[in-house]
Chains A and B, each alone.
Chain A
Amino acid sequence: AQSVTQLDSQVPVFEEAPVELRCNYSSSVSVYLFWYVQYPNQGLQLLLKYLSGSTLVKGINGFEAEFNKSQTSFHLRKPSVHISDTAEYFCAVTRGSNYKLTFGKGTLLTVNP
C-alpha cells in the first residue's frame, strides 16, 4: 500500500516570499503524483500532476513541483506567493490508472501581508 507524508501541517509566509510545501510518499511500485488545493468551504481542485516524463511539472497559479524518485519526494514550490494563495494543499498518490488516490494530511499555507 502507498502512503503520503506532508511534513508541515502549517506554513505561514509573507506575501511575495517563496514557499516550498514538502511531500514524501512510500510505494514499492511506480506512482502517479498530484497536488490539490482546497480553498475554504470548497472542494479540492487540481494544481498539477506527475504521470510520466519530465520530473519538473508546472501547474496553475504559478506553482511547480519536482518528482524525485530517489528521495521519494514531490515538493511543491512557488517563487512568490500572493494573499490569494492562502489555502490548504494536499499531496496525493496513486499506483495505477484507476486514480484511487491516497491523500496526505494537508498543509495549511497562510500568506500574510
Chain B
Amino acid sequence: DAGVIQSPRHEVTEMGQEVTLRCKPISGHNSLFWYRQTMMRGLELLIYFNNNVPIDDSGMPEDRFSAKMPNASFSTLKIQPSEPRDSAVYFCASIGLSGSSGELFFGEGSRLTVL
C-alpha cells in the first residue's frame, strides 16, 4: 500500500502566483481531508470530502482557497492568488469509513513558502 501521496513536497513561490497542491488518497478510502499546519495556529481542518463531495468547507480561510475532488483517487487544493501568510505545511489525509478502524492516514505534507 503506497499510502497517501502528496505533491509537491516543497513549493516556493512569489506572492500573487497560483499554487496547486495535489493528493492521491489510499485506494478504497472514501473520505479525504485537507489540513494546514502552522506554528501559530497548529493543525487546522480546511475542508473534507465524503465520496468526492465536499461536506464541510468552513475551515477554508477565504475565497482565494478552493478544493476539488473530481474522482475517488485525486484531490487538489488551489490558492489563487497566494500571499505570504499562506506559508504553511498542507496535509492531506484519508480514511475508509466503512468498517473503519478509526485511523486517519496522513500524507507527508506539502511545504509551501510564499515570498
A residues in contact (CB < 8 Å) with B:
32, 34, 36, 41-46, 49, 51, 90, 97-106
Given contacts A100-B45, A105-B42, A106-B42, contact A43 B91 (CB under 8 A): yes
Give residues of chain B (28-81) contacting chain A, Cβ–Cβ below 8 Å.
31, 33, 35, 42-43, 45, 48, 50, 55-56
User: Of all chain B residues, which has the CB nearest A49?
Assistant: B102
B residues lining the A interface (CB < 8 Å): 4, 31, 33, 35, 42-43, 45, 48, 50, 55-56, 91, 93, 95, 97, 100, 102-104, 106-109
CB-defined A-B contacts under 8 Å, sample of 11:
A41-B108, A42-B108, A43-B91, A46-B103, A90-B43, A99-B97, A99-B102, A100-B45, A101-B33, A105-B42, A106-B43
Count of CB-CB pairs between chains A and B under 8 Å: 53
* Minimum CB–CB distance for B26 against chain A, Å: 12
Across the interface, which residues of A come within 8 angstroms of B35, CB to CB?
103
Chain A, Cβ-Cβ closest to B56:
A100
A2 to chain B, nearest CB (A): 12
Q: Which 10 A-B pairs have the closest CB atoms?
A: A43-B106, A103-B43, A105-B42, A44-B106, A46-B103, A43-B108, A49-B102, A99-B95, A43-B107, A51-B102
Q: A42-B109, A44-B106, A49-B103 are in contact. List 16 more A-B contacts (CB 8 A).
A: A34-B102, A36-B106, A42-B108, A43-B4, A49-B102, A90-B43, A98-B50, A98-B97, A99-B31, A99-B97, A100-B45, A100-B48, A100-B56, A101-B33, A104-B42, A106-B43
